[in-house]
């Protein structure tokens, strides 16, 4: 599994750690991403839009503020978010522990 640290992802603060569960070959052109993502305290994944794809987050641990196409709400372990094609989202770690979630991007 490949792990990468992305600084200021989508204009966010700090960095985001992405642990790719499946690679391009295993995703077989049907998905853009299947990964465990960690946002450390004080960091965020900036607001961004999805085109010709959708993205789902499944929150494993921690807490944050999720921007769902302009509407903000709190998320915690066990919550699921869904961003359909043509919409946007962002996520800020609002806690004092790592915010960890699974991310899945599916092409339309």
3-state secondary structure of 77: coil
Please report the domains of the chain, with CATH numbers, ordered by start residue.
3-107 (2.60.120.10)
Give 5-48 pLDDT, tens digit per residue.
999 999 999 999 999 999 999 999 999 999 999 999 999 999 99
* Distance of alpha carbon 53 from alpha carbon 77, whole angstroms: 24
- Give the pLDDT of residue 70: 94
* Distance of alpha carbon 10 from alpha carbon 63, whole angstroms: 20
Residue 26 per-residue DSSP state: H
The full length of the chain comes to 108
What is the rounded average pLDDT of the residues 103-107?
97
Handedness of CA 5, 108, 82, 25 (dihedral sign): negative
Are 108 and 53 within 8 A, CB to CB?
Answer: yes
> At residue 1, does pLDDT exceed 90?
no
* Distance of alpha carbon 14 from alpha carbon 32, whole angstroms: 23
Give 76-98 pLDDT, tens digit per residue.
999 999 999 999 999 999 999 99
- Give the pLDDT of residue 88: 98
* Distance of alpha carbon 47 from alpha carbon 10, whole angstroms: 6
């Amino acid at each position: 599994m490949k792990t990468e640290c992305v600084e200021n992802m989508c204009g966010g603060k700090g960095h985001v750690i992405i642990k790719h569960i499946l690679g391009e070959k295993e995703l077989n052109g049907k998905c853009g991403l299947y990964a465990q993502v960690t946002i450390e305290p004080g960091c965020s994944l900036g607001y961004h839009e999805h085109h010709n794809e959708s993205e789902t987050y499944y929150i494993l641990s921690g807490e944050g503020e999720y921007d769902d196409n302009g509407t903000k709400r709190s998320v915690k372990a066990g919550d699921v978010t869904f961003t359909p094609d043509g919409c946007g989202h962002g996520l800020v770690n609002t806690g004092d522990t790592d915010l960890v979630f699974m991310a899945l991007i599916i092409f339309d």
